[in-house]
Structure 1
Amino acid sequence: MDVSKIKKEIYEGILSGNVSKSIIDNLVRPDGSFLSKECELWDYKKTFEDTKDATLKTLKSIISFHNTYGGYLIFGVDEVEKDTSFVLSGVEKNLIDQQKLRGQFDRYFNQRLDLTYEEIVISSDKGDLIIGLLHIPKRSKKNHSIASIVDGVNSKGKVILEKDTVYIRKIDECKRVVSQADFEFLVSDRHFDAEHGVPKKIRKNIIEHNLPDKNFICPDFIGRFEILQELWSWLSDDFKYTNVLAADGGKGKTSIAYEFSQLIIQSGTDLFEQVIWLTAKKQQFKAVYNQYVGVPETHYKDLETLLKEVCLRTGYLQDEVSEFTLQQLQRAARDGLALIPSFVVVDDIDSNSPEEQKRIMEIARSISSTSSRVLMTTRANNIYSSDSSILVPGLRGKEYIELVNTLCDAIGLPNFNEKNIGKLNVASEGSPLFTESILRLCKLGLSLEGAIEDWSGKSGDTVREAALRKEVSELSPEAIKILLTICYVGDLSRSELHQYTDFENSEVNIALEQLGNLFLVSSMGFIEEEPRFESTSSISKLVLSIANEIVPNSEAYIKRIREIGEGLEANTRVHIPEVGAAVRQCNSLLAAERFSDSRNTVRALIKKPRFKENSDLYFILAKTDYEDPLVSDEVARKSFVEAFIKGQRKPAFFEMWYQTEVNSGSSRSILEVCESALRSIGKFDSQWAERCAVANYNQASNTKNYENKVRYLVSCYGQLSKLLKISKRGKWEEHKQLSVKVVDALWDESMNNSKYEIAGSAIINAVNGGDIRSVNFNRMIEVSHFFVDEKLVSETAFRELRDNLEWAPQILRSGAGNREPLAIKLEQTYRNMKGSMRNKKLKVTA
């Protein structure tokens, strides 16, 4: 039986709602047994028991199929041998009460599903038997994934259906959605490719956003999957369009809102066209602001300024908004969010008075709708309703252990044992912010017990300020001013710090060294000749809170750097009302799938001389081609290239261009997009760096020329080396595996082309970078024979291999496993190189 053909016919039956005998006929073998395979499209069941336990399992299967490709539950087929033998057993007539099953589905999922159950008579050697066929429709792409609204607990107390958990079908199992790839799958068209068993490639929806730099909010996001899952489930709630993340200070509510926003953006869901991030935190003001690069800034200070920001980000012009009354702003914000489906995060509303907080929450409910949702963050208080909020607890268990280990690595502390981590957990209440504060006291020389004792009986802010004051007392006046500048503005380069402070370059360098030694700032070194320096959000908040104590006349100083920042910001923004209006109109036309009208709107404006080079207009043209299903990838690619030539550099632009190239471009063109995106961002971005590394590796695999192949592999290895320093868990493994492949490829290609110096350097760099596989030490031994020849290898390379061979045995002996024989070989190789004629000549020359 051709399984691919069967899957194709079954999938077509699911889409058409077929519940006839033809579905069963596809699965029955000539001998009367059933195809010994369950998959994403069907599942066999011996019978259906009308009990709570059995119903919960059936509901889990139904929702998993519905969220995936749709499917069939086939009752009356017995699994006599696991995964290998399925035989017809039949069921009793009227096995399933459809009305009751639909009612149970409604109870747990708060909505009805168009389930169809038919009983089909099949002739067999046992006589006529009944097969029950339950058809489960495929969820429309326009509908959000469905999750249970309550826990489904069986008679033994085991949770079968978890509240807010989304299930999908993976091969023959019902699985929880747990990864970014799962979420991306959920919001895709989910076209089933019967031949390969994977979805067909389509153009991913690109969601525009103004998120600040991840390093400013949460460089290392840990855990919180249950809350993210609850937020994802909330998006399918037809009656609740606003939500609140509430917690005491330092519990990570802003980080959760940020991570969830990232999840929405990366998933490419069709629910939203943009993510709007609005914060009242003044310390997040970013002077060199560009809304499409996503750097921190303060967006609102009260209800009126909040509504103005929403209006400006949903197509209204500055001149219009400045004339609106509060009531007009509310109406305009509501209409704008209805026109442009948006996910809006209103961060830190507790910066406002209690009365203003109430007004903001009330207005948020009035302007949100089925098309646009609003997520707010606030400290735990009695302003919000518990029915429309999620209380954020402190971290516990494995998540807290991971947090502590991550923080210890970041500030240069040795890791603690589980007992001490438990003490730290209790003292900090699981707060990431409080935990960092206690660990910084340890960094100052206190024992963990001493740091916790200092903490006990005092407010978190008091202890953190005390620790910070001790550190600041060790700084020069210049270093303190530079610290305050970075905390107020955000990440800055040396040249920018010179602009803000007027300090000489030497003074800036000395100050940065002092701050780095105390771990108060860190370098984001992506552009090596111009690294950027930043501080954590917790340190920034503390520094700003005691600014008047550490910098004389701090208010005047902050006012000065704010004015400098506003001047720089004004230089980066050019408001062109006609272009803004055209973009707004085109987005409306695209939402209505009026692609030709969108093109005509842009082209009419481009014909005018003053707009013929406007990169935003060319971006809209490319976006139109990207979203138009009748436009080929080749045409869309040309549109993106043209927009890039005109100067377009927005993140959403690069994302659309990348997705287009992935669908139909060459490895070379994909690499060019990745490299262009990295250059435009101007700092290290892990997503683009990962894409760039993969593209370099693929390009190397497709290139025959040795020099070009090595160039791509070396570039790939450089990106991976940086990624390995910041990656966590699964991603680290992925990057490490690719890194190993790159090293192996460099070795093989270089040795095959008699490029012994390059081969040796590749292995030395790999070992120094932590790739201490035995094969690499054997390679050092093998290549050493060529290094003694002056004609083949340079003097510098000879010295480097000789010196590395000297300490290589120590690495083997200090590591796990018994590699003593290999260590002895390395020692002998070192003696051979040391005693070689070439080494003796070097001594004479020296």
Structure 2
Amino acid sequence: MREELKGVFGAVQKGDLPPSFDHLFNGIWNASEERFHVQESYILDFKETNPEGFSEGYGAGFVRLALGFHNSFGGLIIVGVKDRILTVSGIEQPFDVESFNRVLTDFAAISIECVAKTYRVTIGAVEKQIAAVLVPRRKSASPVKLRKDLAKYKAGTLWVRDRHEVLVAETRHLPMLFSQRMSLPSDGEEEARFPVHRSFPPSPATLKEFISRGDLLTSLWGWFVSGENPRLYLHGPGGSGKSTLAFEFARLLAEHGHGVRATTGERLDYVIFISGKETELNPLSGTEQVFAMRQFANAHEQFVQIIYHSGLLGLDEQTSADEKRVKVGLDELFSHFSGLIVIDDIDALSRRGLETGEEVLFLKAVLAKQRTRILYTLRHPPQHALTSSLKVPGLDYASEFHEFVDACCKQFGVPSPPAEVSHQIADRTHSLPLLVETVVGLRRFCSNYNEALSLFDEKGGDDARRYLYQREYDRLDKHGKSRPILSALYLLEQRKPTVKAVLR
């Protein structure tokens, strides 16, 4: 903590303003120069004048600033100061904090009590007034978003205070937003003191850069920190990015978990990621291949991998661990440690009619003395737990698709597609990340994107479609008529020109 900010930080942490100017501003006020001498920071912002209202223009910016402060570390708005030269301009009227709090409630559906106080300071021979508006720090509640449009700001916007700026929250901000936020980013060394045990395979993503699935990641953080259900299912079609999303969440949690506390106070001890995936689509070649890093093929092997990667089972014990040893290991893990277990592609077991181990882990998590959360990925919505599931759709065309395509082009060293072709790629791939990546990858061998799309349809698309839809076909009743009907429709589509000629 910078020495000069301790008075401000103490007031923010306490949630109240001291009675005297000196008590609050002693560290940041230069009496000889009659000006403030610190720049805006994570917890400090200067405004020159009072707004006339808070629902539009300049006043709406106060709401934006307050929500950014509240989501982050709390903060102090000093009104009546020129923010570039930090001299006192003064205000005529006290800050209308009651109206301010009412607008915050109306537009963000929260009840936070900002506190305002007017202070007097002598500049030369003239006494001037400034207002200090204290925005309290959000505690264990979820980050606050706009619930309806406010001036130029859209409903659903999540703001964060980042140094001297208020920014729309990005993936990099989520660990901070869901941490305890008891110290400023430059102050703490908690990571060195409280490391989080982690065990991951290599990332399932072939792209080096993770393209934010912001709302989905925010939902995962909210579930882990404050959600009541001990398990959550990420479901979506093959190629939608479920595994990559789960891996990125686990990675971020492991790297920043030293600052994370559940609403009940538990510290994070471990994060592990295991996979039952059988096959994968190689976007570089457009072909389906065996997944080389598969870790379990049945429930017993899954439990053994959980205990082993948590550090409670030795390498040489994996093959010999019986049911009794597994039970002891799981009981010890759930009784003494708090963490996240990610189980990728659990339907690799269920579609073969095998026991998945879901209920065993669910009961242990519910009855555990410590707080453990379990995240599954699978293709189909879990009918037994629909309220505990989160759909992973294709990329949003407006906010995610183009950024993802740009990242693919950069990695593969190919030009970006023109606008009219981008729509075709999105349509032909249903904006599924893995298929988009495959099309862009095929561009390396083609002179343009139209050729790449043709090649995708004629060659690369076969394996891609098999990877995406074979599981869905396998789920159909073997003894019913659904499989023959689907096959007939496919053949009809393939022979459409011939059928049309016959009909003529």
Q: Which residue of 2 aligns with 1:376?
A: 376
Structure 1: gaps spanning 5 or more residues: 285-294, 466-537, 546-846
Rounded to whole Å, the distance in 2 between the matches of 1:233 and 1:313 is 25
Q: Which residue of 1 aligns with 2:8?
A: 10
The one-letter code matched in structure 1 to 2:334 is L
The one-letter code matched in structure 2 to 1:392 is P
Pick one of 229, 234, 237 that aligns with 1:248: 237
Please give the TM-score of this superposition, normalised by the length of structure 2. Answer: 0.66
Q: Which residue of 2 aligns with 1:402?
A: 406
Rounded to whole Å, the distance in 2 between the matches of 1:365 and 1:175 is 38
Q: Which residue of 2 aligns with 1:276?
A: 272
> Is 2:342 the counterpart of 1:349?
no
Pick one of 302, 306, 316 that aligns with 2:302: 306
Rounded to whole Å, the distance in 1 between the matches of 2:444 and 2:17 is 68
Rounded to whole Å, the distance in 2 between the matches of 1:367 and 1:338 is 9
Paired residue secondary structure (1:373): strand
Residues 68, 138 of structure 1: 8 Å contact kept: yes
Q: Which residue of 1 aligns with 2:136?
A: 136
The one-letter code matched in structure 1 to 2:337 is I
1:408 Cα deviation (Å)? 3.9
The one-letter code matched in structure 1 to 2:253 is I
CA gap 1:81/1:375 in 2 versus in 1, 3 angstroms:
closer
The one-letter code matched in structure 2 to 1:345 is V
Rounded to whole Å, the distance in 1 between the matches of 2:415 and 2:26 is 65
The one-letter code matched in structure 2 to 1:378 is L
The one-letter code matched in structure 2 to 1:401 is V
CA gap 1:335/1:385 in 2 versus in 1, 3 angstroms:
farther
The one-letter code matched in structure 2 to 1:322 is D
Residues 117, 133 of structure 2: 8 Å contact kept: yes
- Cα deviation, 1:261-309, whole Å, max 9, x if unaligned, reads 222233353442222112111358xxxxxxxxxx964333445543454
CA gap 1:355/1:212 in 2 versus in 1, 3 angstroms:
closer
Q: Which has the larger radius of gyration?
A: 1
The one-letter code matched in structure 2 to 1:218 is T
CA gap 1:237/1:52 in 2 versus in 1, 3 angstroms:
farther
Please give the TM-score of this superposition, normalised by the length of structure 1. Answer: 0.42
Paired residue secondary structure (1:86): coil
Residues 196, 257 of structure 2: 8 Å contact kept: yes
Q: Which residue of 2 aligns with 1:257?
A: 246
Q: Which residue of 2 aligns with 1:167?
A: 160
The one-letter code matched in structure 2 to 1:336 is L
Alignment RMSD: 5.0
The one-letter code matched in structure 2 to 1:153 is K
- The structure with the largest strand share of the pair is 2
Paired residue secondary structure (1:235): helix
The one-letter code matched in structure 1 to 2:302 is L
> Is 2:212 the counterpart of 1:199?
no
CA gap 1:218/1:439 in 2 versus in 1, 3 angstroms:
closer
Rounded to whole Å, the distance in 1 between the matches of 2:446 and 2:101 is 69
1:458 Cα deviation (Å)? 10
Q: Which residue of 1 aligns with 2:202?
A: 213
Q: Which residue of 2 aligns with 1:89?
A: 91
Paired residue secondary structure (1:88): coil
Greater relative contact order (Cα 8 A, min sep 6): structure 1 or 2? 2
Rounded to whole Å, the distance in 1 between the matches of 2:107 and 2:226 is 15
> Is 2:130 the counterpart of 1:154?
no
Rounded to whole Å, the distance in 1 between the matches of 2:83 and 2:8 is 24
Rounded to whole Å, the distance in 2 between the matches of 1:174 and 1:443 is 41
Structure 2: gaps spanning 5 or more residues: 261-267, 281-290, 475-504
Rounded to whole Å, the distance in 2 between the matches of 1:460 and 1:187 is 43
Paired residue secondary structure (1:336): helix
Rounded to whole Å, the distance in 1 between the matches of 2:63 and 2:151 is 18
- Cα deviation, 1:433-473, whole Å, max 9, x if unaligned, reads 324544676667797545534655999445677xxxxxxxx
Q: Which residue of 2 aligns with 1:267?
A: 256
- Cα deviation, 1:525-584, whole Å, max 9, x if unaligned, reads xxxxxxxxxxxxx89x99xx9xxxxxxxxxxxxxxxxxxxxxxxxxxxxxxxxxxxxxxx
Paired residue secondary structure (2:88): strand
Residues 143, 177 of structure 2: 8 Å contact kept: no
> Is 2:397 the counterpart of 1:393?
no
Q: Which residue of 2 aligns with 1:625?
A: none
- The structure with the largest helix share of the pair is 1
Q: Which residue of 2 aligns with 1:424?
A: 425
Rounded to whole Å, the distance in 2 between the matches of 1:361 and 1:122 is 64
Paired residue secondary structure (1:236): helix
Rounded to whole Å, the distance in 2 between the matches of 1:127 and 1:402 is 57
Query: Between Structure 1 and Structure 2, how many residues are aligned?
Result: 433
The one-letter code matched in structure 1 to 2:323 is E
1:424-823 matched pairs, under 5 angstroms: 424-438=425-439, 448-449=449-450, 452-453=453-454, 460-462=461-463
CA gap 1:85/1:233 in 2 versus in 1, 3 angstroms:
farther
Paired residue secondary structure (2:274): strand
Aligned residues with identical type, % of pairs: 14
